[in-house]
Structure 1
Amino acid sequence: MSENFYRETWAEIDLDAVEHNVRRMKQHLPEGTQLMAVVKADGYGHGAEPVARTALEAGATWLGVALLDEAIALRKAGVHAPILVLGWTRPQDVGLAARHHISLTVFQKEWLEEASRYYKDASPVFFHIKCDTGMGRIGVRTPEELSEVVRALQADSRFVAEGFFTHFATADEADEAYFRRQYQRFVDMTEQLKSLGINPNLIHCANSAAALKYPEKMFNMVRYGIAMYGLSPSPEMKDRLPFELKEAFTLKSRLVHVKLIEPGEGVSYGVAFRAAEPTWVGTVPIGYADGWQRALSGKASVLVAGKRCPIIGRICMDQLMIALDGPVPVGELVTLIGEDGAERIGIDDIAAMLGTINYEIPCMISKRVPRIYFKNGKIARTANLIL
C-alpha cells in the first residue's frame, strides 16, 4: 500500500471529516465563542499533529492535551497555537512549560508555592484554574480552596491566571439534574473568582456533549473532543445531535491466507472453534498487539467483498481468522471498521461488543498500525513505526 510501511493492516483517517465536524460546531456556537480542539491521547488515536493542524485550519483557536509531554511533542512538530495541559504537571517543569509557551492547569496552592521556588525566569507563566464541581477528579472544590489558590497566584507576579474551567460528569446523559448542579456551582465559583480580583480571559466548562446541547450557556470557549472525531458523546445523544457528525477513523487489512478446512478441524488457540462443515477460512494480519482485543473473539465480524464474515477462534497477538462464504483471493480487502458496499461496522458497534464507550476504540489501536491521512479525497501523509 505504501513505501512507508510494510504490512497489510492500516488505519485511514479522514481529515475532511475532522474539518467538517469542527466547522459545524463553530457554526453551532454563539459568535465569538472559541473552540479548543482536544487532541490528547494522540488525538484519540487519530494522530495529534495532523488533527490539530486540521482543526486549527477549520477554526479552532486552542489545543487541549492531557500531559506536558503531549504539548511539547506538538511544539516540536511545529504547532504554534495556544495549548493547555488539562491534567497535572510537575511543579519543577513550570519553566519548561513557559519556554514552550504552554499553559498549565492549576488547582493546589502548595503546587503554586513549589513552582514559584523552582521557576527562575522572569517571563510570565499562564495558568487555567480547574474547579471540581462534581467530577471528583482534580480541581478546587471549595470557596476556601479557591481563595488559597488565588492568593498563591497573586503572590508571584510572573504567574498569570488566563483561564478558569471545570468538567461535567453527566452532560451526555438524559437526566440533567446533576449537570445543572455542577453548572450552578461553576457559575458561583466564577463570581467568587471575580470578587477576588481575577477576571480571566477564558472561561470554559463545555465538553462535546455540553457544547452540542447547551451552546448558549458555555461561556467563551468550549473543549471539543469526541465529537470532533465524528463520534457521539453517548448512545443517548446519537439520535438527537444538532448536526451530522462524520466519523474519521476506519481500520483495514487484507487476507494473507485462504484455505478450506474439513468438519472437525479446529482454528486458533484452545481450538475454541471447530468446523461443523467444510469451511473456507481467511487469515487477517491483525491481532491484540495491534489493539484488536482478544475479547472480540467470537463476537466481531469483518467485511469482505461487501459481506459480513465472523471472526472464528481466538484472536492471536498478530493474526485472526474469519469464516468466508467461499474461496476469496489472497490480498482481498478486509474492513474491520468502516464501510464496504451496503455494509458498515461502526466504532459504536465495536464498543458495544466490548461493553465500553466509543472513545476507547480508536485509542486502543496501537502505534504499530500505520495511519494514512486523507485530505480532499487524496492521501496527504502517513504515520508509522518506520521513521
Structure 2
Amino acid sequence: MGERQPFYRDTWVEVNLDEVEKNIHNFQSWLPDETQMMAVVKANGYGHGAEHVARVALRLGVPYIGVATLDEALALRKTGVTAPVLVLGYIRPQDTKLAAEYSIALTVFQADWLDQASKVIEDDDLINCHLKIDTGMARIGIRTEKEGHAVVKRIRDSKNFQLEGVYTHFATADELDASYADEQKNRFDRMLRWLKKEHPEPIKYIHAGNSATALRHLDKVYNMVRVGISMYGLTPADEIAEHLPFELHEAFSLHSRLVHVKKLSAGEAISYGATYQAQKDEWIGTVPIGYADGWIRENATQGEVLVNGVRCPIVGRICMDQMMVLLPHRVEVGEKVTLIGRQQEDMISVAEVARRLGTITYEIPCMISYRVPRAVWKGGKMVQIDNDVF
C-alpha cells in the first residue's frame, strides 16, 4: 500500500480498513441485487484517507467513487485510481477541460454552465454528466421541467456531453418520520417520468439514496446508492441507531500518549484562565493534542479520555497543542491515551464525542486536522502512515 512515513509526535489516528471492508460487505449483502454502491470518499474519505478507502471499495466490486470537488477527484487520479469518479458538487465551467482530460464525471444542473463549458472543451472531449434534481434539499439541482428541458436539450445537442446518471438527495432520510422523504421521492419519480420523455435513451445510473436511505428506505434506492458515513462504520443519526439492519464497525480511532505527569496540591490551577483548580492532591497528565489538531476547546466540557481502560476527565482549557487530564493515580509517562476508540473493556465512540459537542458523527473525523498522522491498518497490522505535515 506504500512506504510508511514517520511521525515525530505521540498523537495519531488509526484507520482500520478491515472495518471499512466489513461495512461494505454488509451493504452489498443488504442492498437489492440490482442496486450498486457508489463509495463516497469526499473530505479525504471523511477524514479516513480517500485513496485507501477508495481502493478497498473498488477491490470489493464497488463500481463508482463519489467526491465533492474537482480537486478531490484529481487527487484520486494522481494516486492511480482509474475507476469512474463523480464530482457531486459544482465545478467552474472553465475547468471542464481538465475534468475531460482525467475522465471525471460531473454534476450538471445549469443550462448556462453547459454553454460556458462548451467553449473550453475540445471536439474529442467527452464528459459523463449526472443531472442533479432538487426535490427538496434546496442546495443545487434543477427544480422544474422548464429548467430541466434547457439542460437536457444542451446535453442532447452536444457531442461532448453524455447523460450517464440522474440523481437527487433526501434531506431527512436519517429521521424516523419518513413523510418528507416520501414527498421527495414522489417529486423525483415525477421528474424521472418527464425525463424519460425528454431523453428516451436509457440512463445508466439513477441514484437518490445516501447511507441513511440505504439502511432504512430500500424503496428509495433505485439502481445505485451513495454510501458515505456508514461505510466508515458511523450511524448517520442517533435517532435511527436502534433501527439499523446490521451492525456498523467504526474504522476511526484517535490516540496520544502522556508526555508529562505531575502531582498538584489542592487549590493549584490548570491551563489558561485558571478555570480548573485541584480539589485535593491530584495527579495530572499532559497530552500533546489541542485545538489546532481539531480537538476543539469544547471537548473539555465533560470530555473524557481512556488511560489503562479507565475514563479520565479533561481538566482546564484545551490549548492549541496540548491538554491536561485528571488521572486516578500516578501513571507512567508514555502511557497510551485514547480519545476516540476502545481500550480494554471501554470505548469512546465517535457518536459519544458528537453528542458531547452537540453535533453529528460526520463532523468528528473530518475535523481532526492534517497535523495528526493517519496510521492505516489492514489485516491486523499497520501497513502505512500518512503524515501530511511534511
TM-score (norm 1): 0.98
Q: Which amino acid aligns with 1:304?
A: V
Residue 57 of structure 1 corresponds to which residue in structure 2?
59
Q: Which amino acid aligns with 1:41?
A: A
Displacement of 1:386: 5.1
Structure-2 separation of matches of 1:114 and 1:329: 64
Residues 259-308 of structure 1: CA deviation (Å, up to 9, x unaligned): 00111110000001011100100000000000001111232100001100
RMSD, aligned α-carbons: 1.1
1:220 correspondence with 2:223: yes
1:353 correspondence with 2:348: no
Aligned length: 386
Structure-2 separation of matches of 1:197 and 1:23: 35
1:297 correspondence with 2:297: no
Residue 238 of structure 2 corresponds to which residue in structure 1?
235
Residue 25 of structure 1 corresponds to which residue in structure 2?
27
Q: Which amino acid aligns with 1:103?
A: A
Structure-1 separation of matches of 2:238 and 2:213: 15
1:69 correspondence with 2:66: no
1:375 correspondence with 2:372: no
Displacement of 1:58: 2.1
Does structure 2 conserve the Cα–Cα contact (< 8 Å) formed by 1:62 and 1:82?
yes
1:281 correspondence with 2:299: no
% same residue: 54
Does structure 1 conserve the Cα–Cα contact (< 8 Å) formed by 2:5 and 2:386?
no
Residue 166 of structure 1 corresponds to which residue in structure 2?
168
Q: Which amino acid aligns with 2:44?
A: D
Structure-2 separation of matches of 1:19 and 1:216: 25
Write out aligned runs for 1:128-277 (5 A): 128-198=130-200, 199-277=202-280
Structure-1 separation of matches of 2:5 and 2:269: 36
Displacement of 1:216: 4.4
Displacement of 1:148: 1.1
Displacement of 1:123: 2.6
Q: Which amino acid aligns with 1:377?
A: G
Q: Which amino acid aligns with 1:186?
A: F
Residue 309 of structure 1 corresponds to which residue in structure 2?
312
Does structure 2 conserve the Cα–Cα contact (< 8 Å) formed by 1:22 and 1:59?
no
Does structure 2 conserve the Cα–Cα contact (< 8 Å) formed by 1:4 and 1:386?
no
Residues 291-337 of structure 1: CA deviation (Å, up to 9, x unaligned): 00111123210000110000000000000000001100000000000
- Runs of 4+, deviation exceeding 6 Å: none
Q: Which amino acid aligns with 1:4?
A: P
Identify which range, 339-348 or 80-89, moves more after superposition: 339-348
Displacement of 1:125: 1.1
| Aligned-partner SS, 2:136 | coil
Residue 6 of structure 2 corresponds to which residue in structure 1?
4
Q: Which amino acid aligns with 1:252?
A: H
Does structure 1 conserve the Cα–Cα contact (< 8 Å) formed by 2:288 and 2:323?
yes
Displacement of 1:117: 1.3
Does structure 1 conserve the Cα–Cα contact (< 8 Å) formed by 2:234 and 2:249?
yes
Identify which range, 53-62 or 315-324, moves more after superposition: 53-62
Identify which range, 358-367 or 117-126, moves more after superposition: 117-126
Structure-1 separation of matches of 2:152 and 2:388: 45
Displacement of 1:244: 0.8
Structure-1 separation of matches of 2:211 and 2:87: 18
Q: Which amino acid aligns with 1:116?
A: S
Residue 119 of structure 2 corresponds to which residue in structure 1?
117
Residues 7-65 of structure 1: CA deviation (Å, up to 9, x unaligned): 00000001000001011101111113211000000000001000111111123110000
| Aligned-partner SS, 1:118 | coil
Structure-1 separation of matches of 2:21 and 2:213: 20
Does structure 2 conserve the Cα–Cα contact (< 8 Å) formed by 1:22 and 1:55?
yes
| Aligned-partner SS, 2:154 | helix
Displacement of 1:206: 0.5
Gaps of 5+ in 2: none
Displacement of 1:3: 6.2
Structure-2 separation of matches of 1:302 and 1:273: 17
Residue 15 of structure 1 corresponds to which residue in structure 2?
17
Does structure 2 conserve the Cα–Cα contact (< 8 Å) formed by 1:255 and 1:332?
yes
Structure-2 separation of matches of 1:59 and 1:225: 16
Does structure 1 conserve the Cα–Cα contact (< 8 Å) formed by 2:5 and 2:385?
no
Does structure 2 conserve the Cα–Cα contact (< 8 Å) formed by 1:253 and 1:284?
yes
TM-score (norm 2): 0.97
Residue 34 of structure 1 corresponds to which residue in structure 2?
36
| Aligned-partner SS, 2:119 | helix
| Aligned-partner SS, 1:70 | helix
Does structure 2 conserve the Cα–Cα contact (< 8 Å) formed by 1:23 and 1:59?
no
Q: Which amino acid aligns with 1:146?
A: G
Residue 94 of structure 1 corresponds to which residue in structure 2?
96
Residue 81 of structure 1 corresponds to which residue in structure 2?
83
